[in-house]
Amino acid sequence: ISEQPNAIGEDADIVANTVSSEQIASEVARRRTFGIISHPDAGKTTLTEKLLLFSGAIQLAGTVKGRKSGRHATSDWMDIEKQRGISVASSVMQFEYRDHVVNLLDTPGHQDFSEDTYRVLTAVDSALMVIDAAKGVETQTIKLLNVCRMRNTPIITLMNKMDRETRDPLELLDELESVLKIQCAPVTWPIGMGKTFRGVYHLLRDEILLFAAGNDKADQDFEVIKGIDNPRLDEMFPREIEQLRMEVELVHGASHPFDQEAFLAGVQTPVFFGSAINNFGIREILNALIDWAQPPGARDATVRTVQPKEAAFTGFVFKIQANMDPAHRDRIAFLRVCSGHFQRGMKIKHLRLNREIKVSSVVTFMASSREQVEEAYAGDIIGLPNHGNMQIGDSFSEGELLQFTGIPYFAPDFFRSVRIRNPLKIKQLHKGLQQLGEEGAIQVFKPVTSSDLVLGGVGVLQFEVVASRLLNEYGVDAVFEGTSISSARWITCDDKKILADFEKSSAGHNVAYDAAGNMAYLATSGVNLRLTQERWPQVVFHETREHA
């Protein structure tokens, strides 16, 4: 990528964008962009791997997760992550299935990285919720679902691990409805569980899919028996079949029939039962995604709504990640294309900096390697090599001034002050924290009354990651210490004079600026925050902020 502030028209090899509007429309229509939400250990990694098997993107199971095989997944980019066996960073995988282009955005499941996950979810059009059927709804499931709800993202549900002893399926649906407040429409229904798991009955197709364990092969075929009244079933499962017929009658009577409109509105979730590790029930989910989930839709860009089929390219950065691959020491800005056609070599405008850039090197992420992107359409994610001037929330276009909305930063709940062992490294510390702040790995505040920086995170694990990255990437040995800060709020006020008075008052001692230059108030306690808010009624204290 080369930054060329005044380069319009100077470059002979600028690529002309010559794709017809019909082609753009048909490319958009065949795209599906989704993320998986789940509590850690529910089976997200296993499912990701199986989904990729269907596409032929990877041949062997065990490629995504490097824990056992010793092979490193694209998302396993840091030692700390490998040690803990959690996915710290998200990555993106693209594959083709049934003549559709599927973009799967990986979302970190660990709660300490939920902020990153929230932002990844702003870039998807639908989500797949994986639930461990032995455990039911867990804390992280609830949080992530609430994030999806902010944008009414349609959700498909997989009740996973049916090859184990699980909870009663009806009870699971009940819990989903009451805890997550989402209507359930069972699409498949399990026959038995654990050692007696026989398969699933497809309620819409009146078919039974027979379970067989241990399928590592791509696109495994399972035997299908047509019709729940088929006498073959009585022969095969004399004990279970009556129970199934009874349950299915009950389910038909007591649950909601699948309604695509309600699904697309985020009000209803189709529910599938299966076993990711056995590759069972996974094809049904992929088919649901293709058949029912919507292609990329319109996006709010402040000045107007952008339609995905528009000819001109637009997009926004929802995530920045450093050193994804130790072989390439760089930072990648993940951009979701919102409209038009992206072609390698074209010029796009970085709107916040009002700068033209010629994009000659762009990457996408296949399961096992990065590849050069030649072109992309709405719904696709492209990785722009970033030399430090792109921030989360930045919008890009072919020139039109717009700003995509809804990419949030959340007020942190945990705070640390930073000290370094070697004072000569202060410059590197500031550079490192500035970059990590822009990347969204941590929030960095510079208090007006002190030279010590304050770090804020939504989880404490973030501090460990930052400490380790400061050491490895910037050569800074930093010590993090507790602070008296209990919460942070971004500050705005329509009246500039009041804002200046606020800064000069005693409350001004608690004012700090974040990495993007926004004013914030660092409160020492809940009481302190409340009193300050009461004293300054015209000043607005925000719990979230969008782009700079």
What gap in Å lies between CA 104 and CA 282, rounded to an integer?
14
Q: Under rule CB under 6 A, which residues in 29-88 are in contact with ligand G4P?
A: 38, 40-46, 65, 67-68
Q: Which tokens hold the place of 452?
A: 């010590």
Between 55 and 528, CB nearer to ligand G4P = 55
Between 38 and 103, CB nearer to ligand G4P = 38
What gap in Å lies between CA 43 and CA 131, rounded to an integer?
8
> Which residue is it, tokens 């048909």?
26
CB of 43 vs ligand G4P, minimal distance in Å: 3
Q: Under rule CB under 6 A, which residues in 511-530 are in contact with ligand G4P?
A: none
The one-letter code for the residue type at 272 is F
Cβ atoms of residues 123 and 147 within 8 Å: no
Residue 160 assigned ligand-binding role: yes
Q: Under rule CB under 6 A, which residues in 143-162 are in contact with ligand G4P?
A: 160-161
Residue 246 assigned ligand-binding role: no
Piece in contact with ligand G4P (CB under 6 A), picked from 88-96, 144-152, 275-283, 329-337:
275-283
CB of 278 vs ligand G4P, minimal distance in Å: 6
Residue 72 assigned ligand-binding role: no
Contacts with ligand G4P by CB under 6 A: the residue count is 20
Cβ atoms of residues 417 and 480 within 8 Å: yes
Between 44 and 331, CB nearer to ligand G4P = 44
Between 39 and 309, CB nearer to ligand G4P = 39
What gap in Å lies between CA 150 and CA 270, rounded to an integer?
19
CA distances from 165 to 36, 141, 161, 191, 215 (A): 23, 21, 8, 12, 19
Between 277 and 293, CB nearer to ligand G4P = 277
Among 129, 144, 271, 276, binds ligand G4P (CB under 6 A): 276
Residue 16 assigned ligand-binding role: no
Residue 45 assigned ligand-binding role: yes
Residue 5 assigned ligand-binding role: no
Residue 296 has, within 13 A of its CA and on its CB side, a CA count of 33
Residue 234 assigned ligand-binding role: no
CB of 85 vs ligand G4P, minimal distance in Å: 8
CB of 402 vs ligand G4P, minimal distance in Å: 36
Q: Which tokens hold the place of 232?
A: 């073959």
What gap in Å lies between CA 285 and CA 270, rounded to an integer?
10
Between 283 and 299, CB nearer to ligand G4P = 283
Among 277, 317, 382, 522, binds ligand G4P (CB under 6 A): 277
Cα angle at 439 between 437 and 443, to 5 degrees?
30
Q: Which tokens hold the place of 533?
A: 């808010």
What gap in Å lies between CA 441 and CA 462, rounded to an integer?
7
Residue 397 assigned ligand-binding role: no
What gap in Å lies between CA 418 and CA 463, rounded to an integer?
10
Interaction between residue 164 and ligand G4P (CB under 6 A) = yes
In sequence order, what DSSP letters do the residues of 373-415 get, joined into one string? -SEEETT-EEEEEESS---TT-EEESS---------EE--SEE
Which residues fall in the annotated binding site for GTP? 38-45, 106-110, 160-163
Where do contacts with ligand G4P occur on this chain (CB under 6 A)? 38, 40-46, 65, 67-68, 109, 160-161, 163-164, 275-278
Residue positions forming the annotated binding site: 38-45, 106-110, 160-163
